[in-house]
Amino acid sequence: MSDGLDTPAELVQNAAKAGVTTLAITDHDTTLGWDEAIIAGRQHQVRVIPGIEVSTRQLIGGNRSISVHILAYLPDPTNSALVQELEKTRRSRIERAKKMVALLAEDYPITWEMVLAHLPEGSTVGRPALADTLVSMGVVPTRSDAFTSILHSHSRYYVSDYSVDTTDAIALIRGAGGVSVIAHPLIDFPAGASMTDLPAEFFKILIGAGLNGIEIEHRSVPKQAKQWLKNLAVKHNLITTGSSDYHGIDGKDNRLGENRTEPAMLQRILDQASGFEAPL
Ligand code: AMP
């Protein structure tokens, strides 16, 4: 219900085909896909762990901020503080996408209605929907090509969006009984950078705010940072997870089951969560 190309039911069916027995579904800033995924999970004998990928922003000195995605596993989907914040984010994403469409329309015959045709009703709008529209118009051959060219954050068509502060999001997730895990950390860490450049202070702030875990096994987490992240997790008794971040066959190169979470770590998530009971 955000930027994956499979419907929640198709996602679960494809997971079953790929031999996945337990699957987390974490759409951006919405819980709209949970029910459909849970029902499909019962049909296909896949245990579905409902979650959200919360878009957040963290100030990193001066007036510079970075985009940080925080996975919220098993929060109460009716928690009013969380629901309100997610609604605010989704509304701002619509305004931001409309602004990007207006800029793109100066050079391409794109309209907001065309973008809406690529989204199920009520779902979270992001650059992937713009990418799909541009692909359908023949402007770019694939989603990835759109991201590396006209939709890149340095492109003149790019507009940034409102996101809740990362530390506030961690507190909101905890308040809703969820477990917070930082998604694919350090994906922008330069390949040649020294290990001493790793942002220890940034993680200290997140851990101080109550972060529960780190997603380490993910194709975009830099190899040279993984051991550092594992040591950090041990030091602070954090959960570590692995995930595919699958977005559909044509959504991204990521394939179902390509990275996994250890059963003991899943158990820690289940033990720490109190917002929503994971279906058996
Ligand atoms: P947005 O949050 O609207 O700025 O868009 C970012 C989202 O686009 C991320 O959460 C990814 O899921 C998706 N994304 C980023 N890079 C790519 C890519 N190369 N191909 C497909 N999807 C991407």
How confident is the model over 131-147, as a mean pLDDT?
A: 96
Structure tokens at 103: 């800029």
Residues 234-276 have pLDDT tens digits of: 999 999 999 999 999 999 999 999 999 999 999 999 999 999 9
The share of the chain scoring above pLDDT 90, in percent, equals 90
Assign 83 a pLDDT band (cuts: 50, 70, 90): very high
Best probe residue, ligand 1, of 127, 184, 187 (max atoms within 8 Å of C-beta): 127
* Statement: residue 20 has pLDDT above 80: yes
Confidence band (pLDDT; 50, 70, 90) for 110? very high
Among protein residues, the one whose CA lies closest to atom 20 of ligand 1: 144
**What pLDDT, in 10s, does the model give residues 216-227?**
999 999 998 999
Look at residue 204 and tell me if it is in a domain.
yes
Residue to substitute in 2, 3, 25, 250 for testing ligand 1 pocket (most ligand atoms within 8 angstroms of CB):
3
CA of 237 to the centre of ligand 1 (A): 30
Which atom of ligand 1 approaches the CA of 69 most closely? 10
**Residue nearest to ligand 1 atom 19, measured at CA:** 144
Structure confidence at residue 222 (pLDDT) = 93
Domain residue limits at 260: 8-272
Per-residue pLDDT for 195 more than 80? no
CA of 190 to the centre of ligand 1 (A): 19
Out of 29-38, 56-65, 132-141, 158-167, least confident range: 56-65
pLDDT, average across residues 123-132: 96
The pLDDT, as a whole number, for residue 258 is 97
Q: How confident is the model at residue 61 (pLDDT cuts 50, 70, 90)?
A: confident
Residue 277 forms part of a structural domain: no
DSSP 76-131: -TT-HHHHHHHHHHHHHHHHHHHHHHHHHTTTS---HHHHHTTS-TTPPP-HHHHH
Round to whole Å and give the CA distance between 172 and 148: 33
Give residue 135 CA to ligand 1 midpoint distance, Å.
15
pTM for this one? 0.95
Does the beta carbon of 128 sit less than 6 angstroms from any atom of ligand 1? yes
Whether 269 contacts 74, CB under 8 Å: yes
Q: Does some domain include residue 255?
A: yes
Inside any domain, residue 235: yes
CA–CA dist 49, 47 (Å, integer): 7
Q: Is residue 241 part of a domain?
A: yes
User: Quick one: pLDDT band at residue 39, thresholds 50, 70, 90?
Assistant: very high
How far is 116 from 123, CA to CA, in rounded Å? 10
- The pLDDT score that the predictor gives to residue 280 is 84
Assign residue 49 the CATH number of its domain.
3.20.20.140
Tell me, in angstroms, the distance from the centre of ligand 1 to residue 247's CA: 10
pLDDT for 188 equals 83
Q: How many domains does the chain have?
A: 1
User: Alpha-carbon distance 97 to 103, whole Å?
Assistant: 10
Does 251 reside within a domain? yes
Distances in whole angstroms, Cα of residue 211 to Cα of each of 166, 170, 197: 10, 6, 21
Ordered alpha helix ranges (H), the chain? 8-17, 34-44, 80-104, 112-116, 127-136, 143-148, 166-175, 200-208, 223-235, 263-272
In a domain, 278, yes or no: no
- Using a 6 Å cutoff on CB, does residue 127 contact ligand 1? yes
2 in any annotated domain: no
